[in-house]
Amino acid sequence: MEEKKAAIKYALVTGGSRGIGRAVCVQLAKDTSYHILINYNSNKEAALETLREVQSVGGSGEIIQFDVVDAELVKKQLDAWHENHKEAVVEVIVNNAGITKDGLFMWMKPEDWSDVINTSLNGFFNVTNPLIQKLLVNRYGRIINMVSVSGLKGTAGQTNYSAAKGGLIAATKALAQEVAKRNITVNAVAPGFIRTDMTDALDEKELKKMIPANRFGEAQEVAHIVSFLASEKSSYITGEVININGGIYS
């Protein structure tokens, strides 16, 4: 009888090519033995740079292309990946892919509303749903959803983003209760102002006056909490939203 090979464990990070996603990939490579599955949508070069950084800290991984908005494509790509990695199991899912299309609600175009919801909220479904059955069968898993302080307190000019992230927070809490019995935890991480491409256009000097810590956060600071939640150490934390915002909201 053929001996059953030990499963190779992967952590999937959506939107892993840049910003917080990249920092999460590198931190997971440093702290855990997971192979990192780095998802990107359009910027392959940036995804490869993340992979190089993962490798430079002694980790290993690969890149996978899909737009989290496209449910059919996500499933197709993940099925194809599983077909080529029969011994692999995705044990950690970090739903990080997100976009902003800010503007006053009264001027907001319907596509600016739906694009943001489609990425942050529907993207969570499109990626997590095809993978959850395996987590349930394996009776172990970690799902971490990147949300935002906007999803908790709401941010003027970001009605769409606040709605998407608020919805994702509620989904986090509901799914956590559904799967807790099978040792699968589902948590959300809610960053405030973090220095990335997404916040590049913001006036940091002006905005930091409202932050008790008096500075923007670094992507790596967010990555540390994600890495903890992805580890076995966090086993009794589920359905939780962890703020990481320099004291701007609690």
Closest C-alpha among 226, 73, 231 to residue 145: 226
**What is the C-alpha to C-alpha distance for residues 55 and 43, in angstroms, rounded to an integer?**
19
174 is a contact residue toward other proteins (CB under 8 A): no
**What is the C-alpha to C-alpha distance for residues 68 and 164, in angstroms, rounded to an integer?**
14
E strand map for the chain: 8-13, 35-40, 61-65, 88-95, 141-146, 184-191, 194-195, 217-218, 241-244
**What is the C-alpha to C-alpha distance for residues 99 and 83, in angstroms, rounded to an integer?**
30
**Closer Cβ to other proteins, 132 or 219, answer by number:** 132
User: Could you tell me which stretch among 6-14, 90-98, 165-173, 178-186 binds other proteins (CB under 8 A)?
Assistant: 178-186
**Closer Cβ to other proteins, 178 or 204, answer by number:** 178
133 is a contact residue toward other proteins (CB under 8 A): yes
178 is a contact residue toward other proteins (CB under 8 A): yes
User: Could you tell me which stretch among 73-81, 114-122, 132-140, 223-231 binds other proteins (CB under 8 A)?
Assistant: 132-140
Determine whether 34 is an active site residue.
no
CB of 239 to other proteins, least distance (A): 16
84 is a contact residue toward other proteins (CB under 8 A): no
Number of residues that bind other proteins (CB under 8 A): 7
136 is a contact residue toward other proteins (CB under 8 A): yes
Q: Which of 52, 181, 205, 209 binds other proteins (CB under 8 A)?
A: 181
DSSP structure class, residue 88: E
Count of beta carbons in the 10 Å neighbourhood of residue 130: 18
Tokens 């150490």 belong to residue: 233
Q: Which residues are catalytic?
A: 161
Interacting residue ranges for other proteins, rule: CB under 8 A: 133, 136-137, 178-179, 181-182
